[in-house]
Amino acid sequence: MEAYGQGIRAGADLVICPEMVLTGYPPRDLLLKSHFLEECLHHLQSIAEQTGPVGLIVGTLDRNASGAGRPLYNAAVLLQKGKIIAKRYKTCLPTYDVFEEDRYFEPARDNTPIAYMGEHLGLTICEDAWSHPLAIHESHYGHNPLKKLKDQGASLLINIAASPWQVGKVAVRQRLFEAQSSELGLPVLYVNMVGGNDELIFDGSGMFVDPNRGVVAQSSLFEAQHLWVDTQQQATASPPEGPDVLDEEGQIIKALSLGIRDYVHKCGFQSVLLGLSGGIDSALTAVIAVEALGPEHVMGVAMPTRFSSEGSLTDASKLAETLGIRYEEIPIDPAFEVIKSSLSHLFADKAEDVTEENLQARIRGTTLMALSNKFGSLLLTTGNKSELAVGYCTLYGDMCGGLAVLSDCPKTMVYRLSRWINRAEEIIPWETIEKAPSAELRHDQKDQDSLPDYATLDTILKDYLVEHQSIDSIVSKGHDRSLVEKLIRLMDLNEYKRRQAAPGLKVTSRAFGMGRRVPIAQRFREKSDPT
């Protein structure tokens, strides 16, 4: 209603809000709660009663009163002069990746333009605009709802959306809406959600698209913003300066910062803490957390053992000082020795191995969780996608926490983002970026003792997990067959770890989390072509 008031004061004839603006997206199984729907309907009516001559379009839910099909509609509602003037429902219900709308909603059977102030508004919702060859995912809808509205006399197309961000998505959206506008010969207004909801990050970047000139007005990325458009003059007016263009690294950092801030605040926290090891993953996580919340709300904790290098502690302390965050050192060797002693009668005839390495990680996890409980701060995990893919992480150890900030960032991306952070001045110590990565759980340990170099690992990870390529196809690109088979086996076997991991922020087209549906207890294993 504050946004609606600003629209009125600015002289707008119509104010448009995103898809599901009353509920957040995706509401998931909240939609199974009858009281949730009743609350939405109650607040929608309350908002309608506050409207005047200026129309307000709101994304919300509606009941399917037909008695057939799913009980709910994903709805766009036009409110004006104290009343609900018109309702339109989503036609194309996405059921891929993170989307599962067919689980809850009934698709619209028809959609007609709405007469409003001399225009005929073709009102659609998110996926309705993606039934087009330029869509990221192959269209299975068999029709284009926007074209149907044009054929029925629409003069202006409006698409309200809750479209999650991922690397490259902004450019794809722009091409999509420019193509739709050009092919249909109609202007398009696009309004997208902004903010973080659990694993998903919404970037906003609303736009007005003219069929002859393309995008002529666009809002900034990752910021809640009003974009004022005069649809009758914009097509001929000189376009205003667009928002500051962020490069890919800048977009990722802004997305992760927004994801942290909204997750922390929406879950009722004010501050975060993390293990600060002197490594690149925790350093990058700390930088993004400070951008999201401010240094006064971030604490870094170093937990050295006899295996920790002096350089790692120096790097951790230096980073904390640069960022201005609280920094604590808590040696865990005493706890490590006590637990080893208590197990010595059982382990007497067994050599030390990964058990003792994992024990150190679990002591660190326990220590951080104790601090989280005592101070009411959310614990951030710092592992990256490459490690999570192959299980190079410890359950109930470095996987402890409430939010996995980098879990969709491959290690090579972590390096790229860290160098971007340091593009103007040293924030992350260069020693942290340039030294060989190590978990420091045994003497002279390096990640590459167990894994290939990260450039190779990330390439194979992308081919297998994102592109779903076979072993033979990956090997044909020049990779060693035994290495490919080993890594794919690790990726498959460690699904049980990923199922127990903290929620992670999604920034790529294929993340671990709500969009991944792989069984844990299964015997299928990827094999080479038997021929």
Catalytic residues: 19, 90, 126
Rg of the chain over all Cα atoms, to the nearest angstrom = 26
Q: Which residue, among 208, 164, 174, has the nearest Cα to 190 in the 3D structure?
A: 208
d(CA 403, CA 378) in angstroms, rounded, equals 8
Half-sphere exposure for 143 (CA within 13 Å, toward CB): 14
Q: What is the DSSP string of 461-476?
A: HIIIIIS---HHHHHT
Query: How far apart, in whole angstroms, are the C-alpha atoms of residue 74 and residue 57?
Result: 13
CA 307 – CA 333 distance, rounded (Å): 10
HSE, side-chain direction, 13 A CA sphere, residue 491: 24
Residues 332 and 367: beta-carbon distance below 8 Å: yes
Q: In what order do the strands lie in the sheet with 326-329?
A: 326-329, 298-302, 272-275, 378-381, 403-404
Please, how many CA atoms are within 13 Å of residue 408, restricted to the half-sphere of its CB? 27
Phi, psi of 69 (to 5 degrees): 85, -165
Look up residue 150 and give its two tokens.
């044009």
Nearest of 185, 233, 181 to residue 207 by alpha carbon = 181
Residue type, 274: L
- How far is it, in rounded angstroms, from Cα 516 to Cα 491? 13
Which tokens belong to 369?
A: 């969780």
Strands (E), 242-313: 272-275, 298-302
User: The tokens 């990256």 sit on which residue?
Assistant: 384
